[in-house]
Amino acid sequence: MNVIPNTPSGAFSTSAFPERLRDDKTSARIDGNSHFGMLTGYYFFDDYSLTNPYTPSSSVPGFASLSKGKSDVINLGDTKTLGGSSVNEARIQFVRDRNAATPSGGTGVTLSSLGFTGVTPLDPAVEGIPELDFDNFQVGTLSRIFR
């Protein structure tokens, strides 16, 4: 592969492989007065999928990655006035964040076929060309797949 810089910074760039993002978010809040005080509840949900043609370990096309993630936030609160000059507030929050990135390009090549022996991939399903760093560009799959 012959990579020729085509930008003023000396890096390679093309729009032939677009980045695709699906990002769905929603939230809801409810408040209500009770004899316990002002009760509040808040929920936030984020679900995304990102196809990136230029992964952090590659600046040229052909080594894309697919990232998927979900986030949940639940926040419950109780605010109660105590007299005319003081307030008592209690809050409980739960946060869950799940993210995973897997290579979708540059895979299907075994390390042994490239001459690497004694290296075991953590996940043979995404085994591929290892990360190679040069002065102006990088190629290869995500480097987290080897041990």
Which of 25-29, 30-34, 83-87, 108-112 bottoms out in mean pLDDT, i.e. has the lowest? 108-112
Q: What pLDDT does 72 receive?
A: 97
Which residue do the tokens 């004899």 mark?
35
Higher-scoring residue by pLDDT: 14, 74:
74
The listed range with the strongest mean pLDDT (17-21, 96-100, 136-140) is 96-100
Work out the percent of the chain whose per-residue pLDDT is above 90: 36
